[in-house]
Structure 1
Amino acid sequence: MSDQVCLITGSSRGIGAASARELAARGHGVVVNHRDSATDAEAVAQEVRAAGGAALVVQGDVTDPGDVARMVDAVVGQWGRLDVLVHNAMTPFPVTSFADLSWEQLGTKLDQEMRAAHLLTHAVLPGMIDRGYGRLVYLSTGLSRRPRNGMIALGVAKAALDSFVRYVAAEVAPHGITANIVAPSTVEDTAVSERLPEELRAQLAAATPMRRLARPEDVARTVAYFASDDAAFTTGSWAPVNGGLIMP
């Protein structure tokens, strides 16, 4: 079997799919999670298997406690352990100004964002603590630090996630577990970027020192670094993948 077992949430397309392929290429077993994209998820898994890797597809809603427990049980039942959690799944959010944003919209996004992170982290930590090893990688966004018109719900929810991860990192570090944040700018071929007008995507690319948007593969390589032992002494970090757009 492979070196590590990695669960990647929301990995039927975009950053999640690229992360599954990258981790598999590095010799890890990958678990491709989807909520309602079975065909796409199986295509990612088949691609991994065709390249000689090991892949398991698990369906589940990351905001549903029963689904999360079932997903983790399926992984452990198949491979006996879970070494890496890559929490990439995106919950819905409105694109609107604050003036038009209702509390119900913002509260729903905050609840779903933090519910998913809390449920998944709680589900995977006991096994990691027992083994004295684990890698937690969470996908955030540069919008949690650099506001953009219309993106207040996403930016605020991801800022809450950023803080959550730092607290988790501090608590689990004595157990040999790291927790880090990967924060890309707008990424091509993702559900978020497809909601933006082509003109805005072009403007964002032009404003980036490297003169293009991020690609899923750019983000996946950073995810793979934090999933590896190369990052064994790095925890609680916030890693931008944005071509120089934000330099913290």
Structure 2
Amino acid sequence: MTGATGRVALVTGASSGIGAATARLLAARGMRVVVNYLHSGQAAEEVVADIEAAGGQAMAVQADVRETAAVETMVERVGSAWGGIDVLVHNALTPYAIKPFQEMTWEELGGKLDDEMRAAFVVTKAVLPAMTEQGWGRLIYLGTGLSRRPRAGMSALGTAKAALTQFARYLAQELGPQGITVNVVEPGPVADTKISQVLDDEQRQQQVAATPLGRLARPDDVAQAVAFYADEDNAFMTGTTAAVNGGMSMY
């Protein structure tokens, strides 16, 4: 990653899965990485230890990304240590219901929409002042292929992530003149993540069979796409969505 040394990246929900893989990769490419977590403090510290053992720099910081005060405190702590955040990878996944629409309450659907957008809003608001001041920044949001390709029981997550993707496009249009790029990474099914645990073996085999590359994504596959968007040299892509799904869905 050309010129990445010293850039500060905040990865939300980085104690496991895609977030942890992304934190490790960005650190390996020279960024100082903030490993945000909500409950899994020990796992987050293990990610930091892995990064430091490999010669990188990282710190674990607890914050509920839906809470303005908690996020502002986190950003202030990072600012005191390292300065402003240059790269935001918003990966944290808030809880959601898995059930048919006819069994779903408004609290389950509307609550997920509110959590999803509140978290994106709060974290983005907190990191933008430093980015706009320096005229450079990278905002990268983790979406899901479910926002385009429905699957039974997943309307709450898919609808909320579709809103997130459209939010990112509006940010891209508004923030471009300030030197800030905004992009979305939309994984298909990813093995070794919390979401993957809702699939049984038969469903997993069906998804593999529907994937031209012959396997499900791994967290590292998704991290590579995130790192591509975070790269110093990737200066002219904004408002785009990268589908990391092995060809399962093409758009």
Shorter chain as denominator, the TM-score bin is over 0.9
Length, aligned pairs only:
248
**Inter-partner Cα distance in structure 2 for 1:148 and 1:211:** 20
Aligned ranges 1:177-188 → 2 under 5 Å: 177-188=180-191
Q: CA deviation at 1:198?
A: 2.1
How big is the alpha-carbon RMSD for the aligned residues of Structure 1 and Structure 2? 1.0
- Say if 2:242 is the partner of 1:219: no
The aligned residue for residue 171 of structure 1 is 174
Match of residue 208 from structure 2: 205
Tell me the alpha carbon deviations over residues 35-93 of structure 1, each in whole angstroms, 9 at most, x when there is no partner: 01000000000000000000011000011111111111111111012100000000001
Residues in 1 aligned to 2:11 and 2:41: alpha-carbon distance in whole angstroms: 15
User: What amino acid sits opposite 2:103 in the alignment?
Assistant: D
Deviation of residue 201 (structure 1)?
A: 1.4
Q: Does 1:118 pair with 2:103?
A: no
Structure 1 runs of 4+ aligned residues shifted over 6 Å read none
CA distance in 2, matches of 1:61, 1:6: 17
TM superposition shift of 1:199: 1.7
**Secondary structure of the structure 2 residue equivalent to 1:49:** helix
2:114 paired with 1:93: no
Aligned to 1:246: 249
Identify the residue that residue 10 of structure 2 maps to in structure 1. Answer: 7
| Aligned amino acid, residue 244 of structure 1 | G
Residue matched to 2:144: 141
How much does 1:206 deviate? 1.3
1:226 to partner: Cα distance? 0.4
Q: Residues of 2 paired with 1:113 and 1:160: CA distance? A: 9
Q: Which runs of 5+ in 1 are unaligned?
A: none
1:183-222 CA-partner distances (Å, limit 9, x unpaired): 0001111110012212211211111111110000000000
The residue type equivalent to 1:89 in the other structure is A
TM-score by length of 2: 0.97
**CA separation in 2, counterparts of 1:189 and 1:69?**
31
Match of 1:43 in 2: 46
CA contact (8 A) 1:2 1:54 kept: no
- Identity in percent: 56
Q: So what's the TM-score if we normalise by structure 1?
A: 0.98
- Residue 152 (1) aligns with residue 155 (2): yes
Question: Could you tell me whether the CA contact under 8 Å between 1:142 and 1:185 is conserved in 2?
Answer: yes
Contact 2:9 2:31 in 1 (8 A): yes
Name the aligned partner's letter for residue 198 of structure 1: D
Aligned amino acid, residue 193 of structure 1: S
Contact persistence 1:140–1:181 (CA under 8 A): yes
